[in-house]
Amino acid sequence: MGDRITLSRAITLIESTLEEDRDLAEALLLEIYPETGKALRIGISGVPGVGKSTFIDSFGTYLTDHGHKVAVLAIDPSSGISGGSILGDKTRMEKLSLNPAAFIRPTPSAGFLGGVARSTREGILLCEAAGFDIVLVETVGVGQSETTVHGMTDFFLLLMLAGAGDELQGIKKGIMEMADAVVINKADGNNITASKIAAAEYKAALHLFEPKENSFQTEVILVSSHENTGMQECYTLIQSFNKQMLENGHLQHRRTLQNTTWFRDAVHTDLISTFMKQENKDQYFKELEQKVEEGNILPSVAARSFLTRFFS
Amino acid sequence: MGDRITLSRAITLIESTLEEDRDLAEALLLEIYPETGKALRIGISGVPGVGKSTFIDSFGTYLTDHGHKVAVLAIDPSSGISGGSILGDKTRMEKLSLNPAAFIRPTPSAGFLGGVARSTREGILLCEAAGFDIVLVETVGVGQSETTVHGMTDFFLLLMLAGAGDELQGIKKGIMEMADAVVINKADGNNITASKIAAAEYKAALHLFEPKENSFQTEVILVSSHENTGMQECYTLIQSFNKQMLENGHLQHRRTLQNTTWFRDAVHTDLISTFMKQENKDQYFKELEQKVEEGNILPSVAARSFLTRFFS
C-alpha cells in the first residue's frame, strides 16, 4: 500500500456498510495487521472556531519538514440531516494538502458516531500500514467525540483560545482532564498578552486535577498557526511524551486499552444491526411502533416490551 | 406534582439507573402520561461561548413575564472522565434561577448520550405534568447531541455569533438545516454592524437549503441577551410557529416522530444492557477480550465472532 490512491481506496472500502465490502475489509485488515501500530496516534480536539485545521496545517507541515510522514483523519458525528462540512477538509489545509509526505482523508460524510469511530480506527491501521508514522485524528464535534478520539489515540492535544475571561465555560473539566497538552492557538498580535494570562490560568486549573493515568504532566503551550510559532515546542513535547511512554510501558498499556475499547464499541455497534436482522423481529417491532405512533403506549415501555419478548 | 421539589425528586428518580428505581419511574410516567404533551418544546443549540445560558436567562425571563411557566433542561453527553460542568447550570442563569415561574434542572452529571437522552425525554414529560407550558432543552455538546435534541423538540433554535468571516465553518450545514430560527446573539455595542452582516449572510445561505419538512421558513433574528433586545421577536416567531404548526397538523406529526424516535433509541440503548445480562455471555466475552488484549485478534473480528455465536 505504498501510494495514496491505494490508501484512499482502502479507506473507502472500510467505510462501506455493504456486507460484501465488510468481508473484504476485514480480510484486508487481517492481512495488514502485522504492519500496524508503528505510528504515534495524536488526537486533536477543540471547539469550532479554535482553528484546528490551520493548526493541523502548520503543525503537520512542521512534522513533514522533520522527516515524518503525516496522515490526518477526522471524526465527525455531527452530520445529521444531510451531512458533510460546508467547506471540504482539503481546502481547509492548504499547505498540507499539497504535501507529498502527507495524507488527508476528508471526514466521512455520513454515519452515526459508532460507525464513524470504527472507520477511523480502521483508517489509522491502514495509514500505519502505508508507512505514515504520525497519525493526527481531529474531532470535529464537541461532546461525545472527544472521548471517542481519546479512546483511540496515544496523545491527546486540546486546542484552546484565550477568551474573555470565560475560557473554562466552553470546555468541560472532563475534556481538560484527558489532555496531554493544552495548546493555546492564535497567540499572536494583540492576542499575546491575553494568551499568556489564559496559559497561566490553565496551568493553575490543571494543577487542581488528579494525576492522569499515564502520569504525564499536562503542558500548556502557546502557538500561532498563522505565524508558525510554538510548533517546535509541540514537537518536543510529543517526542518527550513518546520516549517516556515507551520507557515506562504506558504506550503498550494504552494500545491495549485502545483495542479493548474498540472491541466493546464494536460489540455494541454491531449488536443492534445483528439483532434486528434475526428472525421476524420486524413484525413485532412494527406492531409496537404503530402503538407508539397512536400514542397508546409510552415509548420506553414499548421498548422494554419489545426486548422482554426476545430475552426472557 | 405541583411544586418544584417534587418535580426535582421525580427527575432524580427517572435519572436513576437502578432497576427498582426504573420500575418505579415507569409507573410514575404511566400515571402522568395523560397530563403530558401540553408544552411547546424548544431545543436551543449553539457552540460553546455563544451565550446559551445568558440567552436562556433573558428569554426565559421574558417568557415568564408574559405569563408562561418555563422549564429548562439540558442535554450534555460530554461528561467523559469525571463529568460535570465546571460552573453549575443554576449559577449560569442568575435571573431565572430565582424566578418562581421557572424551573432549571442542572445537567445530569454522568452518562452516555443514549441514557442522557432518555432522562431528558422523560424529564420533559414530568415538567409538562407539573404545569410548565414551555420547556427549553439546551444542548451543551456540539455534534450528535443537536440531532438528539432536534428529535425531541418542536422548535429548534440555533444560537450563533457574528464572527470574523468564518461563521459557517463552525456550524455544520446539517445543523443549520434543522433550525427553525437562527438567533444571532451579542448583537450589541460595537458588534451590531458585524451582526447585521452575518444575518444577511445566514439569510442568503438559508435560501439555498431545501425547504424543511415542516415547511416553516427559518427566520434570522438579532438579539442581545445582555441588553435584552430581540426577545419580543423571538417570542412572536415562536407563537406564530406554534399557531401555524397547530393549524397545519405538523405539531402532531412532529410529536409522533418524537415518540417513534424515542422508541427506536430506547430499543437500541436497552438492547445492549439487556443482551449482556443474558445467559453466560460474560465468559465468552472475557475470553475474546483477553485475546484482544494480547493482540492476537483484530478487535472488530473479535466483536463479530462474539455476536455470531449468539445469533446464528
Q: Which of B118, B87, B58 is nearest to B269 (CA)?
A: B118
Please list every residue in chain B whose beta carbon sits closer than 8 Å to the beta carbon of residue A266.
299-300, 302-304
Closest chain A C-alpha to B285 CA, distance in angstroms: 9
Determine the residue of chain A that is closest to B147 in CA distance.
A80
Q: Cβ(B24)–Cβ(B119) under 8 Å?
A: no
Residue B273 lies in a domain: no
A211 touches chain B (CB under 8 A): no
Q: Nearest CA of chain A to the CA of B232: how many Å?
A: 28
Dump pLDDT digits (tens) for A93-107: 889 989 999 999 876
Q: What confidence score (pLDDT) does residue B13 get?
A: 93
CATH number at residue A90: 3.40.50.300
Assess if residue A294 is contained within a domain. yes
Question: What pLDDT is stored for residue A278 in this prediction?
Answer: 72
For residue B205, tell me if it sits in a domain. yes
Q: Decide the pairing of beta strands A134-139 and A155-161.
A: unpaired
| Cell matching residue A4 | 495514496
Nearest 5°: the CA angle B138, B140, B146 is 70
How many domains does the structure of chain A reveal?
Answer: 2
Predicted confidence at residue B103, as pLDDT, reads 95
Tallying the residues shown for chain A, one arrives at 312
Full domain range(s) for residue B298:
279-310
Nearest-angstrom CA–CA distance, B308 and B312 = 6
Question: What residues of B are in contact with residue A295 (Cβ under 8 Å)?
Answer: 256, 259
Interface predicted TM-score (ipTM) of this complex, two decimals: 0.76
Name the residue in chain A with its Cα closest to that of B116: A144
Regarding whether A148 and A286 lie in a shared domain, the answer is: no
Provide the pLDDT for residue A81.
38
Q: Is B77 exposed, middle or buried (0-12, 13-18, 19+ CB in 10 A)?
A: buried
| Total-model pTM | 0.72
With vertex at residue B58, the alpha carbon angle to CA B55 and CA B64, rounded to the nearest 5 degrees, is 130
One domain for residues A149 and A9: yes
Whether residue A201 is found in the same domain as residue A172: yes
Query: Residue B86's pLDDT is what?
Result: 40
Has residue B274 been placed in a domain? no
Domain co-membership, B183 together with B291: no
My answer on whether B291 and B153 are in the same domain is: no
Could you read off the pLDDT tens digit of each residue along chain A, which spans 312 residues? 458 899 999 999 998 878 889 889 999 999 999 999 999 999 998 877 788 889 999 999 999 999 999 999 987 655 443 334 444 545 678 899 899 999 998 766 555 666 678 889 999 999 999 999 999 999 875 566 778 888 899 999 999 888 644 444 455 667 788 899 999 999 999 999 999 998 998 888 888 888 888 889 999 999 999 999 999 999 999 999 999 999 999 999 999 999 998 998 888 888 887 787 776 778 888 999 999 988 888 898 898 888 888 776
Q: Do residues A238 and A298 share a domain?
A: no
Nearest CA in chain A to B28: A298
**Closest CA of chain B from A119, distance in Å:** 11
Report, as ranges of residue numbers, the positions in chain B whose pLDDT lies below 70: 1-2, 76-91, 107-115, 141-144, 163-173, 279, 312
CB contact under 8 A, B177 and A295: no
Residue A271 domain-assigned (yes or no) = no
Q: Vertex B125, ends B124 and B128: CA angle to 5°?
A: 85
Same domain, A67 and A127: yes
Report pLDDT for A153. Answer: 95
User: Does B145 contact chain A (CB < 8 Å)?
Assistant: yes
* Domain assignment present for B272: no
Give the number of A-B residue pairs with CB atoms closer than 8 Å.
Answer: 249
* Contact check, Cβ <8 Å, A81/B177: yes
Predicted pLDDT at B267: 87
Q: Does B47 sit within 8 Å of A262, measured CB to CB?
A: no
Chain B residue with minimum CA distance to A87: B169
Contact across the interface for A80 and B304, Cβ inside 8 Å:
no
- For residues A220 and A261, state if they share a domain: yes
The answer to whether residues A210 and A292 belong to one domain is: no
Find cell 482502502 and name the residue.
Answer: A10
Residues B262 and B285 reside in one and the same domain: no
B168 and B103 in one domain? yes
Q: What pLDDT sits at residue A183? A: 95
| pLDDT reported for residue B250 | 93
- Residues 13-52, chain A, touching B (beta carbon < 8 A): 26, 29-30, 33, 47-49
The answer to the question of residue B271 being in a domain is no
The answer to whether residue B142 is domain-embedded is yes
A136 plus A159 within the same structural domain: yes
